[in-house]
Amino acid sequence: MQRHIVAILATSSVLLAAGSAAEEREFVRQYVYKASDDDSKNSARAKALAQLEIELLKEVGVYIESYLEVEEIASSESEQRYLREEIKATTAGIAKTEVESESWDGSTYSVRARVRLDPEDVSLRVAQALEARRGDREVARLTTLLEESNAELKARQAEVSLLRGEIDAKNASISRREAQIVTYRDEIERNRKKLEQLEREEVRILSERDRIAARIEEAGSLASQYAVVDMTHDEFRGLAGQPRTVYGARGGSRTCENHGTVVVAFRRYLLVGTIPTDQFRRRHGEDCDELLAELEKARDGR
């Protein structure tokens, strides 16, 4: 489903960009907030702006859905709902509200603001976000397969170990019981063949595990491709999608995000650097402050 939507969005955006120059769309709204007895001018302004932004983003979302023809490119209700959610998240991440005018008469706070967006840019960002999410799900799926393969391998190894012990016991018994040597040799031969079959299966499972691990590494490299030093937190999230885990510190202004095989570090909401996830856990024990200190020291030294 998601691959289908991403392909259509990306193709549509390329065709639009080739046929015409990018054109911004402006959305303007006014909201009047009636203050309560407990409201000050500042609290009334904050509430008026918050509600105005909700109204603006709702209007932007409806326009983008119409612009992208959601009901045409997503045939089922679940696909349409999934695409609308991504449009909402993407527009909320890149839309910047500009206040045009505002006034306060002691009981009501009136504010007028606007948002400018390029619908072609939004469609491209939606496609990129969907692709990033698909990559995260692929990593999770491959991780599950890897865990299942490891469990199967351990079971096979235990069975191989057991059979090898049986073979040793049979060989010792042959020395003590010459009369039954023919019978035991036949049984040993059967076990040997079964052991060879299991060893071949073990080689196959190991090879499959290596292939799965390689695919996980490839899928997890998406975040590394988008990571650029001094990129803002919102810009990176818009490209790489949501992290698996966030290691936060100091009210959120210093955070480290787990994107599969890579941990991305932010200071004051700007990207400082990246580190492989296994190194982050081994060297820093998932301590975000410690990782940021190391990255900042390396950066200052450079």
pLDDT in tens, 33-90: 998 988 999 998 999 888 888 887 788 777 777 777 766 766 677 777 777 788 877 8
pTM of the entire structure? 0.35
Single out the residue of 136, 118, 129, 121 nearest to residue 6, CA to CA: 129
User: Do residue 60 and residue 153 come from a single domain?
Assistant: no
Q: What value does the mean pLDDT take over residues 3-27?
A: 53
d(CA 278, CA 283): 8
Bridge partners for 247 per DSSP = 256
User: Do residue 86 and residue 203 come from a single domain?
Assistant: no
Residue 133: partners with Cβ closer than 8 Å, 6 or more residues away: 2, 86, 241, 242
Please identify, among 221, 243, 269, the residue that sits at the C-terminal boundary of a domain.
221
| Residue 95 · residue 56 · CB < 8 Å | yes
* pLDDT on residue 17: 44
Lookup: tokens for 223: 């975040």
Please identify, among 166, 187, 221, the residue that sits at the C-terminal boundary of a domain.
221
Three-state SS at 262: strand
Counting the structural domains of the chain, the total is 3
d(CA 173, CA 181): 9
State which residues form the domain around 125: 2-136
Angle at which helices 77-94 and 2-19 cross, to 10°: 50
pLDDT in tens, 111-154: 998 888 777 877 777 777 777 766 555 556 656 765 776 788 78
Structure confidence at residue 230 as a pLDDT band (50, 70, 90): very high
